Structure 1
Amino acid sequence: MSTSEVVEPLRFNPTESVQPVQSTPTLYSEDIQVGDSWTTEPRQITSEDVSEFASLTGDHTPLHGQDGAASPYGKPIAHGLLGLSILAGLGTNHPKASTLAFVAIEEWQFLAPVFFGDTVQARNEIIKIDPHGRRAVKVRWLRQLINEEGRVVQQGHFITLVGSKSRMTAKPR
């Protein structure tokens, strides 16, 4: 995938009220396969999000200031890690996998800035599944953060362990 790729524009109006999208039913290792993909509901990045993230992390870099004076774009830019964090949160229910562990983030790319007021969605696609013990699989996900123009602004791979139905529904001994 090229760094300048534009995917099909998302079909939503960021000025409209958006109803929460129902999460998927819990998916176990037996329920997933390579090529499965999901797209989350849209979420707007607000100045409050950026301010709270700066307070939480201590990253008060002027680039992320309210006035945008330090930004080469003439408007404020959200923290890249805020976008990554929002992507991770959006993806927890799309799909709602029986995740046992978050193993790694690999090959993460920050392809374009996320601005205050941007509306983003996450796209999650399974690109590889490997056995991991008797009752779990290791899943490699392509995760993309996409803005309202359909541009991929961040992307990379998350690796997680997903449990089998027998493991996750077994009664404790």
Structure 2
Amino acid sequence: MNRQDIYFEDAEPGTRYTSETHLVTAEDIARFCELTRDHHPLHTDAQYARTRGFPGVIAHGLYGLALMEGLKTSLGLYENSSIASLGWDDVRFVRAVVAGDRVHVAFEFVDKRPTSKPGRGIVHEMLYLINQHGQIVIQARHASLLACRASTTCA
């Protein structure tokens, strides 16, 4: 997607965005295992995962959280306006992300405030990773530091 950058002034609480869908594969999960060195059998052994009540290997919760950020980034909303991620709060892994799930991100701006430094402000977003059944699998609140369009003040 190719959208115009959202600067601090543009972030209106209540405004919502939705990403495209992503297919989570067993190979994606295996690569995340290698990257993080977390080879728990829930993520590597479908038979073991079934003994724990899952239909197959499941993704790490942190994989899902990272994917949320990636899907949000794919919208192209902050290409020139993002300064930093300030952190994630109230992260909840509501349901398992299973290999074969098709997920997307829905998020909305919930509030914002200027900072003491000119030219920047903090925006809070509420994000949801949603599977092909319309179920929320992960939800979290994220704080972003965004540039202002005017370099001296934020409205």
TM-score (norm. length: structure 1) = 0.80
Which residue does 1:88 correspond to in 2?
Answer: 69
Task: Give the superposition deviation at 1:95.
Answer: 5.4
Q: In the TM superposition, what is the alpha-carbon distance from 1:94 to its structure 2 partner?
A: 2.8
Q: Report how far residue 137 of structure 1 moved.
A: 1.2
Deviation, structure 1 residue 23 = 3.1
- Normalising by the residue count of structure 2, what TM-score does the alignment of the two structures yield? 0.89
Structure 2: distance between partners of 1:160 and 1:37: 16
Q: How does 1:43-122 map to 2 (within 5 A)?
A: 43-70=22-49, 71-94=52-75, 96-97=77-78, 98-122=81-105
Report deviation, 1:135: 1.2
Deviation of 1:136 after TM superposition, in Å, equals 1.2
Task: After TM superposition, list the pairs within 5 Å mapping 1:119-158 onto structure 2.
Answer: 119-132=102-115, 133-158=117-142
Q: Which runs of 5+ in 2 are unaligned?
A: none
CA distance in 2, matches of 1:68, 1:29: 48
- Distance (whole Å) between structure 1 residues aligned to residue 53 and residue 44 of structure 2: 12
Residue segments in structure 1 that go unaligned for 5+ positions in a row: 1-21, 168-173
* Matched-pair contact (CA < 8 Å) for 1:135–1:166: yes
2:148 corresponds to 1:164: yes
Identical aligned pairs, as a percentage?
A: 31
| Residues paired across the two proteins, number | 147
Alpha-carbon distance in structure 2 between the residues aligned to 1:137 and 1:105:
17
1:117 to partner: Cα distance: 0.6
> What CA distance in whole angstroms lies between the structure 2 residues aligned with 1:93 and 1:114?
20
2:8–2:122 CA contact under 8 A, matched in 1: no
The CA distance in 2 between the partners of 1:30 and 1:157, in whole Å, is 20
Per the TM alignment, residue 68 of structure 1 is displaced from its structure 2 partner at its CA by 3.6
CA shift digits 1:89-133 (9 cap, x unpaired): 000143512111110100000000000010000011000101113
Q: Distance in 1 between matches of 2:9 and 2:125?
A: 16
Aligned to 1:33: 12
Q: Which runs of 4+ in 1 moved over 3 A?
A: none
